[in-house]
Amino acid sequence: MSSSLKHVGHEMARRWFLSVLVFLVSCIAVAQDQNLSPPPRDEKTLQDKLLAKPATELKRQLSPAQVGEVRVIYLLPSDVKQRAKFRRAAADAIQNLQRWYGIQLAGSTFKLHTPVVETFRTSHPAEWYAKNPNGQDRTLWFWNNATTDGFSKTGGAFDDPRFRWVFYIDAEPDADQVVGGANGVALLPRNDVLGILGLQTDPVCRWVGGLGHELGHAFGLDNPLDCQTGKVDTSAPQCQSLMFLGYAKYCGTFLTPEHKTELEQSPFFSPQVAKAGGWKCSN
């Protein structure tokens, strides 16, 4: 758990550094000395419980002319103050990922909605998401409550043929409750909201990588099976990809050939001219 940002001890200086200069920092330079974290907590459980439809199956449901969009939603529980810098930070993150996926796929990437990040105030306080009984399996309550509220605000759905949904919710799940990506949705809790804002110990790029990983699941990608089952050591090349440990070293990571093939077939991927700007990621 090391970070080049620890050298800036003073809190004010740290915040200034994060908010102003983080966009100039090379992800690779930041990530080089970073210890690898395990894949997102309890994600395996989510993957087991919610089986995503393969991209090829979704493609059959769409006419060739349709190109879906990624929509990033900032869900604000009724008792949480809006974080002024979040929309900009999340927009930078998803645009950086749009470019990164485009580099991996020779110019083909996902399309973003306008506005890139949309904010919705929900009618429930933050604690409700973890505690409100919603289904027999309490480890899914947070996932069920947050996605239900997200869909009711946006008109979205699981495996939505029009959109892949990213919900950032400013609320905390209980320790055993699952978050992550499945069924066309990526759900990221308060830890990730703070991470994208540079308010966590890990560098912002780790949190952008985390978003990219869960978005990968929303596109129908699985963690590489050999790495997941322990058939190969985690030092194997495919286990350093975005969909396993590589998210922690973003943007110094990659998509496996299998994942590239899957995304090339996805109705959410097409040649896009990614916007310039955002922060520099020298990959």
Would you tell me which residues interact with Zn ion (CB under 5 A)?
A: 43, 223
The CB-of-222 to Zn ion minimum distance in angstroms stands at 8
- CA separation for the pair 86, 266 (Å, rounded): 29
The CB-of-113 to Zn ion minimum distance in angstroms stands at 24
Degrees, nearest 5: CA angle 246-212-271: 115
Closest residue to Zn ion, based on beta-carbon distance: 223
- CA separation for the pair 28, 248 (Å, rounded): 11
The CB-of-156 to Zn ion minimum distance in angstroms stands at 21
Q: How far is CA 10 from CA 22, 33, 194, 219, in A?
A: 16, 22, 18, 40
Q: What is the dihedral of CA 39, 41, 42, 43, to 10 degrees?
A: -40
The CB-of-280 to Zn ion minimum distance in angstroms stands at 26
Closest CB to Zn ion among residues 97, 199: 97
Closest CB to Zn ion among residues 223, 241: 223
Closest CB to Zn ion among residues 126, 242: 242
Closest CB to Zn ion among residues 223, 238: 223
- CA separation for the pair 18, 14 (Å, rounded): 6
Closest CB to Zn ion among residues 74, 247: 247
Q: What is the dihedral of CA 192, 154, 98, 195, to 10 degrees?
A: -10
In 3D space, the residue among 89, 61, 112 whose CA is nearest the CA of residue 273 turns out to be 112
The CB-of-168 to Zn ion minimum distance in angstroms stands at 17
Closest CB to Zn ion among residues 48, 137: 48
The CB-of-134 to Zn ion minimum distance in angstroms stands at 23
- CA separation for the pair 100, 2 (Å, rounded): 24
Residues pairing with 199 in the sheet: none
Collapsing DSSP to helix, strand or coil, 78 comes out as coil
